Amino acid sequence: MKNMIKDAAILLVITLCAGLILGFVYQITKEPIARAEEEAAKKAYAEVFPQASDFNMLEMSLTEGSAGYEEWKNAGYEGVDIVNVLAALDEGSNRIGYVLTVTSHEGYGGDITFTMGISNDGTLNGISILSISETAGLGMKAEAVLKPQFAGKNVSSFTYTKTGATSDSQIDAISGATITTNAVTTAVNGGLYYFQTQLGGSINEAE
């Protein structure tokens, strides 16, 4: 009995020490991690909207429980979150478009988060992937295969194809990674839908 109490006491001490150490490490590392994430986000904003001189964070987002979520869900974007919205400003502080941070919860390996820049006329400047953990050699090709295909397109939505894109609104799927392709494409479409329905934007899509 004494040995059991002794062992329990030792285990309790070890657990408390481990908890204190982890807490200490967390306190030391959380600020550098937050700064690194902030810098990565700033680089992503500039990448998808290089014409902008500054970005102004707006008090806007769309996730489960937000106002308008049911309409969002019914439009087919239940697995997509609009994490934040920034106004892209020129040197005169005029709004020239928006930068959205979007998360898809439908990736094969988990969440996929990226930024997308949309000009006032609805042109998608491009996307910049912030976080992705898809299968190496397949879904992880999203950076090389999918990302370039969205840049400079002015369409209301995208579809993907396995037989070769024939229009601006079509994206060539990653071979062997349909789930990743669908997740990214749907999330981009969600961003465009949000631009049109929540930000008052319109798409000057060529006929």
Question: CB neighbours of 177 closer than 8 A, spacing ≥ 6?
Answer: 108, 134, 135, 138, 139, 141, 142
Tell me what pLDDT residue 15 has: 75
Tell me what pLDDT residue 41 has: 84
Q: 4 pLDDT exceeds 70? A: no
- Distance, CA of 87 to CA of 49 (rounded, Å): 10
Average pLDDT on 97-117 reads: 97
| Interval 155-175: pLDDT, tens | 999 999 999 999 999 999 999
Instruction: Tell me the residue length of the chain.
Output: 207
Q: 49 pLDDT exceeds 80? A: yes
Tell me what pLDDT residue 42 has: 87
Q: 91 pLDDT exceeds 90? A: yes
- Distance, CA of 114 to CA of 189 (rounded, Å): 13
Place of tokens 């749907």: 186
β partners of residue 30: none
Average pLDDT on 5-14 reads: 69
Portion of the chain with pLDDT greater than 70, in percent:
82
Tell me what pLDDT residue 14 has: 77
Tell me what pLDDT residue 207 has: 43
Tell me what pLDDT residue 29 has: 60
Strands 170-172 and 112-119: unpaired
Average pLDDT on 45-53 reads: 95
Average of per-residue pLDDT values in the chain: 89
Q: 13 pLDDT exceeds 90? A: no
Tell me what pLDDT residue 1 has: 60
| Interval 184-201: pLDDT, tens | 999 999 999 999 999 988
Q: 121 pLDDT exceeds 60? A: yes
Concatenate the DSSP letters of all residues of 115-154 into one string: EEEEETTS-EEEEEEEE----TTTGGGHHHHTHHHHTTB-
Q: How does 147-159 read in b/e, with b if 16+ C-beta sit within 10 Å?
A: bebbeebbbeebe
Contact criterion met (CB below 8 Å) for 119 and 89: no
